[in-house]
A and B are shown apart, each in its own frame.
Chain A
């Protein structure tokens, strides 16, 4: 009797894993589902620029990378934009750099965030009332932005009648370590496939940067949620629930280039923050207002995804080993392997994605990179799983502090010293 109950529970868990693994695979390849759909993920060809932009760059302890980022932004070929750097009142180093940049260029302004407890959404909200452009764009202090991006976004807004345009973001330093390779691929599939699907289904968690929102809408929405650890996702969910049209466009040459966190610990903390942020968005419940049941289901599923992935990441290998050791009935053992099938197919698709990434960004992908990709699957899953568990405990304990990711500039081609070398 007890054994039966255990078996039934076990099979139910296996079924859940199968669903998670299948949906991961299906959503991952969504952009390549037909030859025509591949072309649809691109930005439309730009026409004469018409809109004006306010580009927000929150910066905290970023004096090292900020000047390059801002000067790249200023190289943009769009005629009408301003850059607003947001610094903390307790961060004199970054403030000094920002003031220097503002002094030398009239399109740059500096806003000081006076909040006692600081985080990214509060910084963004501080700058929102001062924005002069009709569209607000968000960039991180280490971002490397393509000069022609704004013109494309300008066209995209008018061509698609969108309220929000989400551009591509791509981590670049896939050679830094085994996990950075996987991290890079996650971004590749997220921005080139997953987000397009979510935009089509009209439920989308937005990205943290290269995201553009109509200023009037953003003001109507009272900006970002200052208490949320995943303010980008929260804004996306809130705007989706109001029926906002989001256009996602990904052209590799226009993608904003970024770096992975410098250490595995950094990645772990970042992932904890995201997972906890998703959990907060789930608890906040804005997604319940989504108009169709299918959207609500998708929202609920997506927001709990880190936890399901955590669960599957741990359970798949454990169950395979356990089944061989415990001598369960043959059919149960067979069932255990079912979630493994889409998982293996996912790894195969990831390998193709790595090749595609190399082609799109002109990076040479070597055989050992593919080996790292395959061998890294399980440990990476375990790290994500651990982060999800940590996020849950933090949320339950009410610890909601912002663990900021450090930036060293590993995504930029020329580096004097490369601290990534010491990582794992």
Chain B
């Protein structure tokens, strides 16, 4: 290296006015520079940008078309909606006692979105606020997923394959539409992976990845299962020159932000179990150990089996190919992290613990990334695209014959798997999407809500499915007179007299799923289990008769009028079925 041999003449003087003229670019210059940078960036990435824009439009359209009509709103969606409603309106984290069912960041984000966009005022029903936010999350997820795939070295085609499966599969669309915390978690998780795969390997990417991951966990604790996968991807990308510091930053940010949750509980004096209050300790113990499991997914009589069957019925082919890709995905370095994320989820499916119905939401992005990643790796290895007529000429003539044949064979197999998938899945996707676009499954719920609004008095006490809770309260029913059915006998916030509380209930509103979960008999009368586990609800139902029911069997809503005079009423005639 050769530098100047002497000091240049001193180029500083104390003419301060000249100095002020020399430095500090004007705002216009700065704007121009920013414009040039952006322009250069745009020219470099314009193909990616075009593809992503098209994907966004398609994914958004497929998702949004009929998203308030299918699936029908259900209790869980209503619960999160009510949590989010409670934040600005009741200044609490839930419409009942917040008992650490989930960390609170999920409902806080939903509440923020609802407040900023005035969602409750605009949309057809309360749960629709969460549905709309789910669409926003979906669009963000599409961008992040494509960018993550590119950072993992996927070609544009395979990255597009992943995003297409993620946004066109009826299974995905069905669940991604729901107003559940899981859908809120997806973009945060993808962002955590995206930053972990940052090619700059900077300490700020590490902090960003950790912060996104912490937000994911603080939105729904099940995201914690992805920790090993994020860490793996992060470790794969670190550089020995600054590894100590990036790793420290990652671990510090995740753990410190994560600790805010127990800290909150500690401040409320609700960290440890004790008499007379809820606690984080109890909630975690219940979720991990005491909660009734869903049985094995291979046992045809189990709930877990039913849940998995529902998933498969929506899109069996995508499920199959993604599962097949797990093992090769774990073997290839490039796909190992996403495959690990998927494998952990599959592993917890097999564990026979409690299996929530929307568990599949968190699996999908990593399932499709695993599959598309394996396709990408194998396709590249086969070098088939090089030997196509328009490929580079020298590549066609090179290589040993056996290897060439093997590569051709493997490449052709991969190509045919993808084509076969497209052919096999296309009819079921078309049918499934058509159904999601045009079938208004929510019609029954909507009619039931109108019926309740018009046929019940503000002074009457309604025990309802949470999907109606916010709508009824916003309609003018006092919050203490609209009671979420699962809180009867459990929550001290339920405002009913201790003696024969059922006598103060006027109406009970449950849907088909609620009826199953409170163990009603098939003729919708309370079973012995109902009376044991839900005494007040059981008695109210025993003294009630169905005065109206709406909707198709799977989504049916039943409304009971409770008679306070005594005689037990069986399911009565006069049922209004639209």
A residues sitting closer than 8 Å to B (CB atoms) are 29, 32-35, 37-39, 44-45, 47, 50-51, 134-135, 155, 157-159, 161, 163, 214, 216-217, 220, 242-244, 289, 291-292, 330, 333-334, 337, 341, 344-345, 348-349, 351-352, 355-356
Across the two chains, which residue of chain A brings its CB closest to B243? A35
Q: For the complex, what is the distance from the CA of A331 to the CA of B14, rounded to whole Å? A: 53
Per the CB 8 Å criterion, the residue count for chain B at the interface is 42
Q: For the complex, what is the distance from the CA of A44 to the CA of B1, rounded to whole Å? A: 10
Residues of B within 8 A of A135 (CB): 7
Is B12 interfacial (CB 8 A cutoff)?
A: yes
Residues of A within 8 A of B1 (CB): 44-45, 47, 159
Residues of B within 8 A of A291 (CB): 19-20, 23-24
Q: Contact: A352 with B245, CB < 8 Å? A: yes
Nearest Cβ on chain B to A140's Cβ, whole angstroms: 25
Q: For the complex, what is the distance from the CA of A130 to the CA of B257, rounded to whole Å? A: 59
User: Top 4 A-B pairs ranked by shortest CB distance?
Assistant: A291-B23, A35-B239, A158-B3, A345-B252
Q: A337-B260, A348-B252 are in contact. Are A38 and B5 (CB under 8 A)?
A: no
Q: Contact: A289 with B252, CB < 8 Å? A: no
Across the two chains, which residue of chain A brings its CB closest to B15? A242
Q: Contact: B257 with A47, CB < 8 Å? A: no
Q: Contact: A155 with B264, CB < 8 Å? A: no
Nearest Cβ on chain B to A329's Cβ, whole angstroms: 10
Is B552 interfacial (CB 8 A cutoff)?
A: no
Residues of B within 8 A of A352 (CB): 244-245, 248
Q: Contact: A47 with B2, CB < 8 Å? A: yes
Find A330's partner among B19, B249, B267 (CB 8 Å cutoff).
Answer: B267
Residues of A within 8 A of B19 (CB): 242-243, 289, 291
Q: Contact: B23 with A220, CB < 8 Å? A: no
Q: A242-B12, A243-B22 are in contact. Are A334 and B263 (CB under 8 A)?
A: yes
Q: Using an 8 Å CB-CB cutoff, how does the interface string of B177-208 with A read, 1 for contact, 0 for none?
A: 00000000000000000000000111110000
Is B28 interfacial (CB 8 A cutoff)?
A: no
Across the two chains, which residue of chain B brings its CB closest to A193? B245
Residues of B within 8 A of A217 (CB): 10, 12
Q: Contact: B256 with A163, CB < 8 Å? A: no
Residues of B within 8 A of A292 (CB): 23-24
Q: Contact: B3 with A155, CB < 8 Å? A: yes
Instruction: List 20 A-B pairs, Cβ < 8 Å.
Output: A29-B245, A33-B204, A34-B202, A35-B241, A38-B242, A44-B1, A51-B6, A134-B7, A155-B3, A157-B7, A161-B4, A163-B12, A220-B12, A220-B13, A242-B14, A242-B16, A344-B256, A345-B256, A352-B245, A355-B244
Q: Contact: A35 with B242, CB < 8 Å? A: yes
Is B253 interfacial (CB 8 A cutoff)?
A: yes
Residues of B within 8 A of A341 (CB): 256-257, 260
Q: Using an 8 Å CB-CB cutoff, how does the interface string of B258-299 with A read, 1 for contact, 0 for none?
A: 001001100110000000000000000000000000000000
Residues of B within 8 A of A47 (CB): 1-3
Q: For the complex, what is the distance from the CA of A242 to the CA of B12, rounded to whole Å? A: 7
Across the two chains, which residue of chain A brings its CB closest to B259? A341
Residues of B within 8 A of A348 (CB): 248, 251-252
Residues of B within 8 A of A244 (CB): 12
Residues of A within 8 A of B256 (CB): 341, 344-345
Known: A34-B242, A334-B263. 7 other contacts (CB 8 A): A39-B241, A44-B1, A50-B5, A330-B268, A334-B260, A341-B257, A356-B244
Total number of residue pairs linking A and B with CB closer than 8 Å:
112
Q: A45-B1, A292-B23 are in contact. Are A29 and B249 (CB under 8 A)?
A: yes
Nearest Cβ on chain B to A21's Cβ, whole angstroms: 12
Across the two chains, which residue of chain B brings its CB closest to A221? B14
Q: For the complex, what is the distance from the CA of A33 to the CA of B203, rounded to whole Å? A: 5
Q: Contact: A158 with B7, CB < 8 Å? A: yes
Residues of A within 8 A of B201 (CB): 34-35
Q: For the complex, what is the distance from the CA of A45 to the CA of B1, rounded to whole Å? A: 9
Find B14's partner among A50, A51, A220 (CB 8 Å cutoff).
Answer: A220
Residues of A within 8 A of B427 (CB): none
Q: For the complex, what is the distance from the CA of A352 to the CA of B547, rounded to whole Å? A: 70
Q: A158-B3, A220-B10 are in contact. Are A32 and B203 (CB under 8 A)?
A: yes
Is B476 interfacial (CB 8 A cutoff)?
A: no
Q: Contact: A345 with B249, CB < 8 Å? A: yes
Q: For the complex, what is the distance from the CA of A51 to the CA of B264, rounded to whole Å? A: 62
Is B8 interfacial (CB 8 A cutoff)?
A: yes
Q: A158-B4, A292-B23, A345-B256 are in contact. Are A33 and B10 (CB under 8 A)?
A: no
Residues of A within 8 A of B22 (CB): 243
Q: Contact: A334 with B7, CB < 8 Å? A: no
Q: For the complex, what is the distance from the CA of A14 to the CA of B7, rounded to whole Å? A: 49
Find B202's partner among A33, A50, A163, A289 (CB 8 Å cutoff).
Answer: A33
Across the two chains, which residue of chain A brings its CB closest to B20? A291
Residues of A within 8 A of B200 (CB): 34
Q: Contact: A214 with B260, CB < 8 Å? A: no
Across the two chains, which residue of chain A brings its CB closest to B198? A34
Q: For the complex, what is the distance from the CA of A328 to the CA of B217, rounded to whole Å? A: 27
Across the two chains, which residue of chain A brings its CB closest to B205? A34
Q: For the complex, what is the distance from the CA of A37 to the CA of B2, rounded to whole Å? A: 23
Q: Contact: A349 with B12, CB < 8 Å? A: no
Residues of A within 8 A of B16 (CB): 242, 289
Complex interface residues of chain B between 226 and 260 (CB less than 8 A to chain A)? 239-242, 244-246, 248-249, 251-253, 256-257, 260
Residues of B within 8 A of A345 (CB): 248-249, 252-253, 256
Q: Contact: A51 with B7, CB < 8 Å? A: yes
Across the two chains, which residue of chain A brings its CB closest to B22? A243
Q: For the complex, what is the distance from the CA of A242 to the CA of B239, rounded to whole Å? A: 38
Chain B CB within 10 Å — which of A34, A39, A44 has the most? A34
